[in-house]
Amino acid sequence: MPCLAAIVALIAPRLTIIGLWFLTGWFRGVFDGILWPILGFFFAPFTLLWYSAVANWWDGAWGPWQIAGLVVAILFDLSPAKSKRG
């Protein structure tokens, strides 16, 4: 099941964010306000998912692997192939 969720997150990150928001407490306590999740939803969904994954899985500890994952998420969000995915 986690592999299926990861595949869905790669194909449709916004759908994954909506599902996590309404069906789980994944984003609870990760952000202080509502502004960053909304901006992340529209402009950087992969980065939003990775940031919340680091907050949930590693208690917000940013090591080299977490930073590498953040770089990959940012590259996915800024990718020129983004227009082809839609």
Q: Please check the confidence at residue 76 and state whether its pLDDT lies above 70.
A: yes
Alpha carbon dihedral 40, 43, 45, 50, in 10-degree steps, equals -60
pTM for this one? Answer: 0.85
| Distance, CA of 66 to CA of 24 (rounded, Å) | 23
* Domain that includes residue 27, residue range: 2-85
* Residue 31 CB neighbour total at 10 angstroms: 16
- At 78 the three-state DSSP class reads helix
How many domains does the chain fold into? Answer: 1
Asked if 76 and 46 touch (Cβ cutoff 8 Å), the reply is: yes
The tens digit of pLDDT for each residue in 11-31 reads: 899 999 999 999 998 898 898
pLDDT for the residue 74: 95
The tens digit of pLDDT for each residue in 43-67 reads: 999 999 999 999 999 999 999 999 9
Mean pLDDT of the chain: 89
